[in-house]
Amino acid sequence: MGYRLDRIDKRILFHLAQDARNTTAREVAEEVDVSAGTIGNRIERLEESGILEGYHADINYEKADNLLTRIYICHAPNSDRERLAEEVLQIPGVINVRRAMIGRENLHVVAVGTDTRDIGRISRKLTDLGLEVEHEGLVEEEQFQPYSPYGPSDEHSHTGKGFMTLAGDAELTDLRLLEDAPVVGMTIGEAAAADILSDDVLVVTIERGESMITPKGDVEFHESDIVSLLFRNGLSESVLEDFGGDVVHR
């Protein structure tokens, strides 16, 4: 059995996700009533177990060098996803690749380019590798927050949404459904019939535990599902309320 998180581990992860640069062992130790040495040891164990994989800088490339950040929602043959993901990472300018286990839009790529010509080069490289680009757009903004159940109890009610803004007003967001989310217990078809979903709102993937669920009409939304939503014409506050949940960062 793998490493099991307890309250102290979760609080450490919460604070590191919130602000890894300025989080100190002493501050976390005071909050959970243990020694700073214990926090240091726990961090080391989290790293060794592979739970804490790294400490990544959040870089605004537009401010840094007036660069363009673009997201590509792609399809890759299931048998080649892992290989293609590795090859995509070798393309100059690609900074992130995310693989979905099931579903057509199963490879998400984020890349940075100097100008539209450079972005075009990256697009062609993706196509040359055999990927089908289903959607793409310039990223305007990306927001992050830690997973609230790992934080103090007074943080659990916070449900701020994190999202990527794409060119043409399209936006992509991932939400973990809470127990009282209106769509919990509904199927995708029922949500569409109730006008919660429309042609402008696409369910990209549903992650349930260790499984990725293909978003078909008879699939039911469950509590704790991680639902990826693509808003073709900008965020809809009413849809966000119906899918009310905690933001999930990949």
Of 96, 119, 138, at which residue does a domain stop? 138
- Domain at 24, CATH number: 1.10.10
> How many domains does the chain divide into?
3
Q: What is the DSSP letter of 245?
A: E
What pLDDT score was predicted for residue 172? Answer: 75
> What's the pLDDT at 159?
40
Tokens standing for residue 70: 């673009």
Asked if 28 and 68 sit in the same domain, the reply is no
Q: Is residue 221 part of a domain?
A: yes
User: 159 in a domain, yes or no?
Assistant: no
- CATH number, position 106: 3.30.70.920
Would the pLDDT of 156 be above 70? Answer: no
* pLDDT more than 90, % of the chain: 40
- pTM beyond 0.85, yes or no: no
Residue 56: both structure tokens together: 């990544």
pLDDT at 65 over 80: yes
Outline where DSSP puts E strands in 24-150: 68-75, 94-99, 107-113, 132-138
Q: Give a yes or no: residue 82 inside a domain.
A: yes
Asked if pLDDT for residue 52 goes beyond 90, the answer is yes
| Structural domain for 116, as ranges | 61-138
**Terminal Cα distance for the chain, rounded:** 24
81-129: per-residue pLDDT in tens?
999 999 999 999 999 999 987 778 899 999 999 988 899 999 999 999 9
Q: Which of 118, 138, 158 is the last residue of a domain?
A: 138
Q: Residue 181: pLDDT above 90? A: no
Domain boundary among 138, 159, 180: 138
Residue 248: pLDDT over 80? no
Sheet of strand 132-138, all strands in order from the earlier edge strand to the far edge: 94-99, 107-113, 68-75, 132-138
- What type of residue sits at position 67? L
Tell me, yes or no, whether 157 lies in a domain: no
CA pair distance 153, 155, nearest whole angstrom: 5
